[in-house]
A and B are shown apart, each in its own frame.
Chain A
């Protein structure tokens, strides 16, 4: 229990973890301040617990004094920790909406997309959830924000390659 003592009790989501069937962590987002050691411990424990569950079991489980809401998409488990009184079903749909966002952005997303473009996965998550709360639930608006950023990046990238080509760097 000690590991979670630093948790702020009125936060909605405490953290979100994405991990593969092999137990490899693909994305971790912590909405509460915890030490690296505690994060690793929690991750290890949860990955083990969730992977041990059978397919037809329910998507919620009590863990320490939190509730874990998880769902598997292809080879990836999406797993959120919420407060005990919080709404499990809406959290399940938070997960689904995030998966939809990834899917739309990458075009039928797969685990490899998240491995190779992990920074994008973080950016999308930040547009959708901030501090553990839903910031923008419209798929269009989130993707618009991300695409705008990508556009900014391309504008910025172009001059660099030109300069490089003429050997000015």
Chain B
């Protein structure tokens, strides 16, 4: 039993609590509780009316049971009944129950509101306070509707008791946060602001929270509070420690109110009125001075309260960022705290200094504490303090101390807590890049990072080092040498193997002159790691090997031997097998010229934002990395690291895209879902021509089986010229490569279903098509424009996904899924002069796809073989089902699709007039629903639809923002599938 039992002490309750405490096991407790619940239920249901006391006791027991963590599904009605009791304690328990177990049952809320209304009108201050506490505790919208009009009146009325005013102020604050639309201050504004002058400190303390919140939302209406707050603060700061009586806390006058006043001032810029500003600066100086005075008490409460005010004052000084003198003083004060014996103060000083480091006035002053901070990183026993020290080192880093800080962080990493390693790795990587003056230091740092904390080095980090090495030719030789040395270690991290494989594959020749790192030595070193690596790394190594064959022809037999062995060409992993087979073939068939072009050194990477920085931002949330910092890196990254590199769109977007579906193929994220423009088709036809046994009409491959040489070959026009060089290999009986204009023809049909697909002097091909759900039917009309018959007329359609099964007739590859199922019957082999034949094609969309099926047409006209390959205008948008939705739903869904990879965006110049009606027609033709009254800007267009495939439905949202002045568009696509967003965006960007 308790030592003290104040008030009425409900005996039954005390006995029950004792029983529960005496329960030996969880089961016994549950048994006791169930017994009690049964008892209470029977009392509540019983015929005999319960008196108020019993009701109160049982409601209190239910509350206790609920607070133990059990569910309570009855008793609410009894609690509501207690509200209308005129006995204070019964009312009080009723309100407590409601506050803790609020039920959204509207019937009950009405009754509760009714009781509250009565109590507010009772003019009994204790009852009024109870009612106000209940509103503040529950804070539901229904309550706001009922009382938001009444409470401001209570708050400012002259005859309201102080304690009621206090409750009313905070009650209103809670309602304002729940339903700002319902709380209209309007006429009350000035009287509420003047509560800052109230004689009662408690009223000021409560009111200032309300005023701060309202000021944040309506700064102009409340700006008179600034001068009032300054004078109030000034009075408190200058008062002797006993002046404020009970509002003095351990010799500190009104610490809570002081903090709140300083916080309120942070809603505004420095006061414009010189006198007010002078007074405020004086206050801040006094606060800083007091920190230097000997403490008036040894109690920690005294120093905590005093320092709470000090830290809040420093926050205000940093917020103003205009008083160099105060900033430097603040910094010196914090510097003292860095070595304080109180862990709490050290923690807060490190934290506060982080923000000071970003001010130009105090950055240098912060830097003087570097040794202390480094020491904290090494010696603090609490990981949360060490974390702050690491943050501060990151914040104070600049060109002058980068090497020291990075070195310290690296050495800390060796023993750092697992919980913060990943973040530390990112920070080191960012600093190393940002402040790299000589790039050999950068390379050393990152390789050290991989050596020390390889497991925590994310893809972004090692992608980045490769991007930088590729873009900086002055560091390539050094990188090759260093990575070669690092790989000598008997156990090196797989990330090291990746970087090593890539860099030696590109630049191994730069160190091949040294017999200790001759080509074969390099190869053997890499290959010694091969068997211990995961599939993605092995895939990368295979690419490095084929690059070796190009760099060092003398390694060819050795490498071919490796590629040829069963563990490669028969590897159960499709990706590895395919690479092995294709590389083997490539190396044996292609001439050295072809090899040299295909395996040319990687072109410089286009630059945007460091993907590492993006990752850190994502990890820490917005605000973790300041804007200026971002710009810094962008500027330096763009200017120094990638001098002259073009700022491409697709590649950079893909490079910063952290999660790509197929890591094995997507080295450096450099392969966008489908390379737009002409590079894609020609690239795959290169494959077709090199491997002459490729089946008829090998189309450019789809998403899953895209020619992986893509990541090795430069995405430039050079692949086109290859096509010209290689024709000797191809057989005229095979399908021709798609016509150069086939993409353009395809694009014409993105927003329409019928029309003429192709026409030359001999042949015209017309199309009519219709789509429903994931099915489509297409009618092709082949018209003979001549007067002579076509003989041996035949057509063939091939789909993405077939490329693989043709090239690699391996049994287990039959499972490769195609994306479209296309069926048709052969056409008559004779087309008379002037006649037209029709062909029906049934299409089933199995999964989303990027590449259109190819249509190959062959016939003989006057003895000459005509061989034409076109892209069949089947695009993913054909399987759109329009979805109508209201503005609210649209934006809700839009927000749900906020992962970076779910969005695809393009900004492009208008190719044709920006006529609204034309745009609408195009968007409707796209197949999705054009939504009205959704976008707040009427110039913009938004659409919604669902792509229907057999495998899944993909919801897509579209937003097109025309800028008539600049003749530009911004197009944004969001969908649940990255490949769909990308593809739609590409398709659509060519339409306007």
Chain B residues numbered 141-177 whose CB sits less than 8 Å from any CB in chain A: 163, 166-167, 170-171, 173-174, 177
Closest partner residue, chain A, to B7 (CB atom): A150
Question: Do A116 and B14 touch (CB < 8 A)?
Answer: yes
Within 8 A of A (CB), among B1-21: 1-8, 14, 17, 21
**Distance, CA A107 to CA B980, complexed state (A):** 69
Main secondary structure of the interface of B (DSSP, over half): helix
Known A59-B344, A87-B312, A117-B2: A131·B173 in contact at CB below 8 Å: yes
Task: Identify the stretch in B34-42, B198-206, B645-653, B798-806 within 8 Å (CB) of chain A at 4 or more residues.
Answer: B198-206
Q: Which residues of A contact B205 (CB under 8 A)?
A: 134-137
**Given A116-B2, A117-B2, A131-B173, A153 contacting B8 (CB threshold 8 A):** yes
Find the B residue at minimum CB distance from A40. B69
The reply on B63 being an interface residue by CB < 8 A is yes
Kindly state whether residue A48 has any CB partner on chain B within 8 Å: no
Q: Determine whether A42 belongs to the interface, using a CB cutoff of 8 Å to chain B.
A: no
**Interface residue B139 (Cβ < 8 Å from any Cβ of A):** yes
> Contact check: which of A40, A89, A107, A152 meets B305 at CB < 8 Å?
A89
Residue B385, interface by CB 8 Å = yes
State the CA gap A51–B503 with chains docked (Å).
Answer: 49
Q: Is the CB of B206 within 8 A of A133?
A: yes
Check if B560 is an interface residue, CB within 8 A of chain A.
no
Looking at B87-95, B515-523, B677-685, the stretch in contact with chain A turns out to be B87-95
Is the pair B213, A56 in contact by a Cβ cutoff of 8 Å? no
Contact A130 B21 (CB under 8 A): no
- Knowing A88-B348, A90-B259, A137-B256, say if A56 contacts B96 (CB, 8 Å): no
Q: Which residues on the B side are within 8 Å of A96 (C-beta)?
A: 301, 304
**Does the CB pair B246–A105 fall under 8 Å?**
no
Instruction: Verify A62–B384 contact, CB threshold 8 A.
Output: yes
B372 CB-CB contact with A under 8 Å: no
B197 at the interface (CB under 8 A from A): no
Given known A89-B308, A93-B249, A130-B133, contact A112–B381 (CB-CB < 8 A): no
Number of interface residues of B (CB under 8 A): 77
The chain A residue with its CB closest to the CB of B250 is A93
Assess the B344–A139 pair: CB atoms within 8 A.
Answer: no
Most buried by B among A12, A54, A134, A149: A134
Asked if residues B60 and A60 are in contact (CB atoms below 8 Å), the reply is no
Considering only residues 763-812 of chain B, those with a C-beta below 8 Å from chain A are none
Contact call B257/A93, Cβ cutoff below 8 A: no
Are B382's CB and A134's CB within 8 A?
A: no
Are the CB atoms of A89 and B206 closer together than 8 Å? Answer: no
Is the pair B170, A130 in contact by a Cβ cutoff of 8 Å? yes
Complex contact A11–B177 (CB within 8 A): yes
- Within 8 Å CB of B344, what residues of A? 58-60, 88-89, 92
CB atoms of B209 and A12 under 8 A apart: yes
CA distance A8 to B102 in the complex (A): 18
**Are B177 and A8 neighbours in the complex by a CB distance under 8 Å?**
yes
**B346 cross-chain contacts in A, Cβ below 8 A:** 58
User: Inside 8 A of B438's CB, which chain A residues have their CB?
Assistant: none
> What residues of chain A lie closer than 8 Å to B21, measured between beta carbons?
115
**The one of B1, B3, B53, B304 that contacts A93, using a Cβ cutoff of 8 Å:** B304
Evaluate whether A131 and B170 lie within 8 angstroms (CB atoms) in the complex, with A25-B69, A62-B384, A89-B304 already known.
yes
B216 at the interface (CB under 8 A from A): yes
- Chain A residues in 8 Å Cβ range of B247: 137-138
Contact indicator A119/B6 (Cβ below 8 Å): no
Q: Which residue of A lies closest to B348 (CB)?
A: A88
Does residue A110 face the partner (Cβ distance < 8 Å to B)?
Answer: yes
Tell me whether B348 and A145 are in contact (CB under 8 A). no
Cα distance A126–B92 in the bound complex, in angstroms: 11
Inter-chain CB contacts under 8 Å: number: 198
Contacts of B385 on A, CB cut-off 8 Å? 58
Bound state CA distance, A153 and B256, in angstroms? Answer: 32
A150 contacts which chain B residues (CB < 8 A)? Answer: 6-7
CB interface residues, A 106-125, toward B, < 8 Å: 106-108, 110, 112-113, 115-120, 122-123
CB under 8 Å from chain B, chain A span 39-65: 40, 54, 56-62, 65
Q: In the assembled complex, which residues on chain A have CB atoms less than 8 Å from the CB atom of B114?
A: none
Asked if B93 contacts A113 (CB within 8 A), the reply is no
- Give Cα distance in the complex from A97 to B100, angstroms: 23
Determine if A10 and B177 form an interchain contact, defined as CB atoms under 8 angstroms apart.
Answer: yes
Partner pick for B96 among A33, A54, A123, A130, CB 8 A cutoff = A123
Closest to B14 in A: A116
Q: Residues of B contacting A92 with CB < 8 Å?
A: 304, 308, 344
Whether, in the assembled complex, B137 has its beta carbon less than 8 Å from a beta carbon of chain A, the answer is yes
| Chain B minimum-CB-distance residue to A120 | B6
- Asked whether A135 lies within 8 Å of B63 as measured between CB atoms, the reply is no
| Residue contact A154 to B202, C-beta cutoff 8 Å | no
Q: How far is the CA of A152 from the CA of B247 in the complex (A)?
A: 27
Q: Counting CB contacts under 8 A, is B530 at the interface?
A: no
A148 beta carbon closer than 8 Å to chain B = yes
Check if B347 is an interface residue, CB within 8 A of chain A. Answer: yes
Binary contact track B249-278/A, C-beta < 8 Å → 1, others 0: 100001111011001000000000000000
Bound state CA distance, A92 and B21, in angstroms?
A: 30
Taking a contact as CB atoms under 8 Å apart, the answer to whether B139 and A33 are in contact is yes
Jot down 29 A-B pairs with beta carbons below 8 A, ordered by A.
A28-B67, A60-B347, A87-B259, A87-B263, A87-B308, A88-B344, A89-B344, A117-B2, A117-B5, A119-B60, A123-B92, A123-B96, A126-B137, A131-B137, A131-B139, A131-B171, A135-B205, A136-B166, A136-B202, A137-B257, A138-B201, A138-B247, A141-B246, A153-B7, A153-B88, A153-B89, A154-B8, A156-B88, A160-B51
Q: Which residues of B contact A (CB under 8 A)?
A: 1-8, 14, 17, 21, 51, 53, 60, 63-64, 67, 69, 71, 87-89, 92-93, 96, 100, 126, 129, 133, 136-137, 139, 163, 166-167, 170-171, 173-174, 177, 201-202, 205-206, 209, 213, 216, 245-247, 249, 254-257, 259-260, 263, 301, 304-305, 307-308, 311-312, 315, 343-344, 346-348, 381-382, 384-385, 387, 621
The 9 closest A-B pairs by CB, nearest first: A89-B308, A90-B308, A58-B343, A138-B246, A152-B88, A131-B174, A130-B170, A133-B209, A116-B2
A residues neighboring B (CB under 8 Å): 8, 10-12, 25, 27-28, 33, 36, 40, 54, 56-62, 65, 85, 87-90, 92-94, 96-97, 105-108, 110, 112-113, 115-120, 122-123, 126, 130-131, 133-141, 145, 148-150, 152-154, 156-157, 160, 169
